[in-house]
Structure 1
Amino acid sequence: MRVHIRYFGRFAADIGKFSEEIEFDDKATVKDLVEFLKRKYPFLKDEVIEVSINGKYAKNDDPLAPEISVFPIISGG
């Protein structure tokens, strides 16, 4: 499955692009995506990576979809 990944916030700045397409196995999960990104971009190794699918936060065991958004954890007060 070809997945279009959109990066937001400092992830886009640190990665140097706002999006990319990556090929994954059809049974790949959000956990597989996060592990892949941490290998490809070692500076993400210690980051908490939030993933959304169709505008909703995704869980590690959720299957990937053709459109994924990836962003740093958002906090505030």
Structure 2
Amino acid sequence: MSTNGQQRAAIRPGMTVDIVLKQDQPTGKLTRGVVKDLLTKSPNHPHGIKVRLQSGQVGRVKAILDQGGPSAT
């Protein structure tokens, strides 16, 4: 499975990810956080699955860093 954040099935709450916030799209600046909610409903998205982090920030996943949680073993 891809770890570039384009596949919804690869992302679950509790994972540590790098996202690009809407205001950072022109620069590509990444923000790191833990996934709280998945906002994209389609199984994949060419620009990355949109998520809400536990901090409340919303952006598209660019990289999955940590599988998180006990289900990752």
Q: TM-score, normalised by structure 2?
A: 0.30
More helix by share: 1
More strand by share: 2
Question: Which has the greater radius of gyration?
Answer: 1
Q: TM-score, normalised by structure 1?
A: 0.28
